[in-house]
């Protein structure tokens, strides 16, 4: 399995940063328009949380809170697990599995540079395995 940095080089960054002072309604509008399932919450340039679709359901809707009045700082997942671009994709998947999350902020030198979903990581792994299988088939079909 390759490094996160290799995956990031193949795509445009998908980061839609929000503030803990913004409301749930504002974050949900951003998530819907950008077609993402989570956004990093940053204050003074530092990652302080992540806000996801799960947070909307569990911490806002299920508790009867008003999305247009509830600040993200009250319902975000604080201090989320993160990954560094120099880590392996396997390490990132294991981190996500350990905490049961589906979105992982990628942080370099204290700054959020991208956000990966478990889908991003698994699809890249599948593509890599398919390429390896293709190479092995070509090798074995050439004969000795």
User: Would you list the domain boundaries of the chain?
Assistant: 15-142
- Say if residues 3 and 89 touch (Cβ distance below 8 Å): yes
CA separation for the pair 97, 100 (Å, rounded): 5
CA separation for the pair 120, 93 (Å, rounded): 10
pLDDT, position 127: 66
Q: Which two tokens stand for residue 86?
A: 């120099």
Core vs surface per residue 96-122: b (16+ CB within 10 A) or e: beeeebebbbbbbeeebebbbbbebbe
Average pLDDT, the chain: 90
- Say if residues 50 and 105 touch (Cβ distance below 8 Å): yes
| The pLDDT of residue 69 is above 70 | yes
User: In terms of CATH architecture, what is 15-142?
Assistant: Roll (3.10)
pLDDT, position 133: 74
**H or E segment to which residue 139 belongs:** helix 118-142
pLDDT, position 15: 82
Average pLDDT score over residue span 120-142: 76
């Amino acid at each position: 399995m390759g490094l996160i940095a290799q995956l990031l080089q193949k795509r445009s960054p998908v980061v839609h940063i929000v503030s803990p002072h913004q409301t749930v309604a504002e974050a949900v509008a951003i998530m819907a328009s950008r077609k993402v399932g989570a956004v990093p919450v940053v204050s003074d340039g530092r990652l302080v949380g992540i806000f996801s679709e799960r947070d909307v359901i569990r911490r806002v809707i299920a508790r009867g809170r008003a999305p247009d009045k509830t600040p993200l700082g009250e319902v975000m997942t604080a201090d989320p697990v993160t990954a560094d671009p120099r880590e392996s994709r396997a390490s990132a998947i294991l981190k996500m599995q350990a905490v049961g999350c589906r979105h992982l902020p990628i942080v370099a030198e204290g700054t959020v540079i991208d956000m990966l979903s478990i889908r991003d990581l698994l699809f890249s792994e599948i593509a890599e395995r398919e390429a390896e299988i293709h190479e092995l088939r070509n090798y074995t079909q050439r004969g000795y």
